[in-house]
Amino acid sequence: MLGATFWRIGVFNVPGTIVAALMIAAIDNGLTIMGVGTFGKYLVKGGVLLFAVFIVTVLRKSAAQGKQT
């Protein structure tokens, strides 16, 4: 799902997937350096995923409303 939030919004694509994978790896590495436990890492990654789903949903709705008017 994160791959659909970069490059072309709402469309799964290779550049978006690469950016999303790098972002998750950077977040995971940062949380490891900070000493966050496994449960905390899962919470943060889940929050990022939920935020990505929210962004895609909002952008798709706004695009659909823009086409109707």
CA angle 2–44–4, rounded 5-degree value: 5
Q: Are 45 and 2 in contact (CB under 8 A)?
A: no
Q: Are 45 and 36 in contact (CB under 8 A)?
A: no
pTM listed for this prediction: 0.70
pLDDT, tens digit, for every residue of 20-65? 889 889 999 999 999 999 999 999 999 988 888 888 788 778 777 7
Decide if pLDDT at 69 tops 60.
no
